[in-house]
Structure 1
């Protein structure tokens, strides 16, 4: 005989059994009894007319995908979205999903019955045609064969709508999950470009840009994008002032109807399909190459002529106020050149160099990668001779290094006006070279000349006495004349004595 186990053993067994039960509940999908949905016929596992419409599991209308099995009136399990059901192909699955999603969630019995017939025809046409004793091969005939018993007044409408739904569903292409986004840059303007979207035409989604905006809206986001397309974008340089090459990024999140169904099963009874969760996917893209920051160099110049050479102080700057950098952080190097022209007189200022005027020298500068903008001094070789000289500076894209050219607009050319006042200088001829006069003798200091010694002069004899008649003529008497003559004699004698004494003093003695 059998005896019950001891109380302790009974308790352990009960706990173990309860644990197994809980584990089974946790692992198994939830099961709910299917309810009568919308349609016509008899809601029973087996009946003479069957059920033609939806079976409702919770809030979802589902439709038979296994013709010939009894109606699912027992506990029904929801297995979620699946793409592998009874060997159905992706085309069958997407067609069924289209019908149960687009038309199947309805309370209209004619519409629900039409969806039910179309779904069964897609899943298994042969069984659908002949499950109820119909011997032909016409779907409309099979529908009429049954609906004459279930709802004869709606038979024609159900036939017409079923065939229309079936044709529509079979024309739905198998979806293509995924795709590509690609960014492009216009060769003539790196701030312009496009975002190309290649996804299934039935996909819908949202696009987002980083570092750019859509040209038509000015927004970095675009919603309700349907299928592919090409969207123009504007990508200005970042406003951080670094002026380095930059990149644009794009992302897109898309939703697409699945080649799958929401799968429901009832043990020993019908299997049914409801709407499948849509396929969701995300795409992204990044510029294939950094976008260069473009700018427009400008030059201001002041020229002089010194030592027979043309000397130019060249100030170069960016019109935009920002001098771009390369990816390594160094400043873009600009090459500027100038042709020097010679004329016989001061030429008139003009936008272009006069035709036929040939340069006599060329100047060139390359900006410093450490400083970029600034003033550079450039000196020409010796000028060929007197005349009026003017320099015309230019900066062109075609004359730049390969690393610099992308930073200038396509076809960029900047050039000074001819004969600008700050660039026009005259080299005057030197004075004429005449034969110079002989140099003047160097003056010498004067040599003192010695005074010659006085020579002895004999004392003249006294004059003879004058005749009395002559004395009377002068108005003086003879005695007065004799007195004057005496004085003169004395003075002459004293002078001779002094001369003799002086000569003796000056004569060296031995």
Structure 2
């Protein structure tokens, strides 16, 4: 029967087609005590095949619907006494339309087999978001809904990894969809939450019921049932960053001192939920060589650290410059170079998720800002003592002059003569030197 633009099918086998005013009672899942399986089967047939102007197809749907509602009455209401639906159909159709009887029988069997395979739908379900264990920007979403349901998913603070879109159509039950959830734009570093919502439809275990008072009732197609689902991360996702270090070292009082500036590439230092900065740990190995080493990407394999420096950033400050001083004095003269590193593997377990998977940063070996020399301590200066000349004792008084044997001159007079001779020799020598330095005159 056609009600307006809708083809409807009788659900009271044995009753004649209704005439008169028909009332649309709307979609109903409670029709004459029919089970959910009967209703979903009928809805499938009248929706998929019943909206047709083909009389053979429409007659086939009508026979199948009546057989689903009440097979026994459908078989025997017009005088057929056997137990074969095909024979019952032929019993009627060979008199009404014998040329179409065989085609109708075949289609009815097909429709009944197909209708029996339609599952009773489950309305509702759940969405599940996951976060990768070591990569908070990655994860998945999956819908636990009826296998025949389909829907649309929308993401907040994430996109589907394969399309880059925050919305996806034709979402199916049990399909795992990878998502990408980088730090949202404008986020100040605090943890963030991915949210998902979806709208799903599934075939209804119901029919649109039409009634003619005191006469036949008929079933038309019921629209799919629609339901909404929503979920969000069970725990917020930490913001990730790529920290790095710049350093300036010096040696004072035999101690290695380093001013370490910690920063982040993209300018956002992660925060905890309370707004404090995530504390970062960094370590530096200190190496000693006999001369200034060549700068390189790797530490020479023949060197072993002689000391270690450690840094933990302040949750109240976050990035900035920190002074790190070696607690002990350096072991002796030499050239010292520190090599700082930041590694995800060396962070506190609560901090590690804030760094990308496998993140490791290290300074170049022997960078000029990190290489200082401790010179040997010179020996103490001992002044040379000044020698004080010894004062000679005054000569004693000369004894009584003694007469020389040959001349009879007193000894005092002889001493005077000796002095005079010495003076003469000296003067003579000086005259000779002057003479040698005087230029030679030529005629």
- Superposed pair shares fold, TM > 0.5: yes
Q: 1:387: how far off?
A: 1.2
Q: How does 1:62-73 map to 2 (within 5 A)?
A: 62-73=8-19
Q: 1:321: how far off?
A: 2.0
Instruction: Find the counterpart in structure 2 of residue 233 from structure 1.
Output: 179
Q: How does 1:118-129 map to 2 (within 5 A)?
A: 118-129=64-75
Deviations 1:356-388 (CA, angstroms, capped at 9, x unpaired): 433222211111222211111111121111111
Q: 1:439: how far off?
A: 8.5
Matched, 1:296 2:247: no
Give the Cα–Cα distance (whole angstroms) in 1 for the partners of residues 48 and 173 of structure 2: 19
Change (3 A) 1:440 1:135: farther
Give the Cα–Cα distance (whole angstroms) in 1 for the partners of residues 32 and 23 of structure 2: 16
Deviations 1:107-127 (CA, angstroms, capped at 9, x unpaired): 111111000000011111111
The structure 2 residue matched to 1:345, chosen from 284, 291, 295, is: 291
Q: How does 1:434-449 map to 2 (within 5 A)?
A: 435-438=382-385
Instruction: Find the counterpart in structure 1 of residue 144 from structure 2.
Output: 198
Give the Cα–Cα distance (whole angstroms) in 2 for the partners of residues 352 and 224 of structure 1: 52
Unaligned stretches of 5+ residues in structure 1 = 1-54, 442-510
Instruction: Find the counterpart in structure 2 of residue 306 from structure 1.
Output: 252
- Bigger relative contact order (CA 8 A; separation at least 6): 2
Give the Cα–Cα distance (whole angstroms) in 1 for the partners of residues 379 and 157 of structure 2: 71
Matched, 1:270 2:216: yes
Instruction: Find the counterpart in structure 2 of residue 334 from structure 1.
Output: 280
Give the Cα–Cα distance (whole angstroms) in 2 for the partners of residues 108 and 319 of structure 1: 70
Contact 1:193/1:233 (8 A) holds in 2? yes
Secondary structure of the residue that 1:322 maps to in structure 2?
coil
Change (3 A) 1:148 1:258: same
Instruction: Find the counterpart in structure 2 of residue 131 from structure 1.
Output: 77
Instruction: Find the counterpart in structure 2 of residue 35 from structure 1.
Output: none
Contact 2:11/2:66 (8 A) holds in 1? yes
Contact 1:334/1:366 (8 A) holds in 2? yes
Give the Cα–Cα distance (whole angstroms) in 2 for the partners of residues 238 and 434 of structure 1: 68
Contact 2:20/2:212 (8 A) holds in 1? yes
Instruction: Find the counterpart in structure 1 of residue 194 from structure 2.
Output: 248
My pick for the range that moved more, 426-435 or 175-184, is 426-435
Contact 1:200/1:228 (8 A) holds in 2? no
Q: 1:190: how far off?
A: 1.9
Change (3 A) 1:440 1:119: farther
My pick for the range that moved more, 164-173 or 427-436, is 427-436
My pick for the range that moved more, 131-140 or 187-196, is 187-196
Instruction: Find the counterpart in structure 2 of residue 27 from structure 1.
Output: none
Q: 1:176: how far off?
A: 1.2
Give the Cα–Cα distance (whole angstroms) in 2 for the partners of residues 237 and 403 of structure 1: 18
Matched, 1:74 2:74: no
TM-score by length of 1: 0.73
Contact 1:346/1:388 (8 A) holds in 2? yes
Deviations 1:63-88 (CA, angstroms, capped at 9, x unpaired): 11121223222333322111111221
Secondary structure of the residue that 2:177 maps to in structure 1?
strand
Matched, 1:364 2:286: no
Aligned length: 387
Deviations 1:175-208 (CA, angstroms, capped at 9, x unpaired): 1111221112223432222221222232222111
Cα RMSD over matched residues? 1.8
Contact 2:249/2:257 (8 A) holds in 1? yes
Instruction: Find the counterpart in structure 1 of residue 153 from structure 2.
Output: 207
Contact 2:134/2:353 (8 A) holds in 1? no
Instruction: Find the counterpart in structure 2 of residue 477 from structure 1.
Output: none
Contact 1:181/1:197 (8 A) holds in 2? yes
Instruction: Find the counterpart in structure 1 of residue 113 from structure 2.
Output: 167
Q: How does 1:148-159 map to 2 (within 5 A)?
A: 148-159=94-105
Give the Cα–Cα distance (whole angstroms) in 1 for the partners of residues 224 and 186 of structure 2: 41
Matched, 1:100 2:50: no
Give the Cα–Cα distance (whole angstroms) in 1 for the partners of residues 370 and 169 of structure 2: 58
Secondary structure of the residue that 1:75 maps to in structure 2?
coil
Contact 2:142/2:173 (8 A) holds in 1? no
Contact 1:212/1:235 (8 A) holds in 2? yes
Matched, 1:355 2:301: yes
Unaligned stretches of 5+ residues in structure 2 = 389-443
Secondary structure of the residue that 1:338 maps to in structure 2?
strand
Instruction: Find the counterpart in structure 2 of residue 88 from structure 1.
Output: 34
Give the Cα–Cα distance (whole angstroms) in 2 for the partners of residues 222 and 396 of structure 1: 37
Secondary structure of the residue that 1:345 maps to in structure 2?
coil
Give the Cα–Cα distance (whole angstroms) in 2 for the partners of residues 243 and 294 of structure 1: 8
Matched, 1:433 2:433: no
Give the Cα–Cα distance (whole angstroms) in 1 for the partners of residues 120 and 353 of structure 2: 45
Instruction: Find the counterpart in structure 2 of residue 396 from structure 1.
Output: 343
Instruction: Find the counterpart in structure 2 of residue 189 from structure 1.
Output: 135
List structure 1 runs of 4+ shifted beyond 6 angstroms: none
TM-score by length of 2: 0.83
Give the Cα–Cα distance (whole angstroms) in 2 for the partners of residues 257 and 439 of structure 1: 118
Secondary structure of the residue that 1:298 maps to in structure 2?
strand
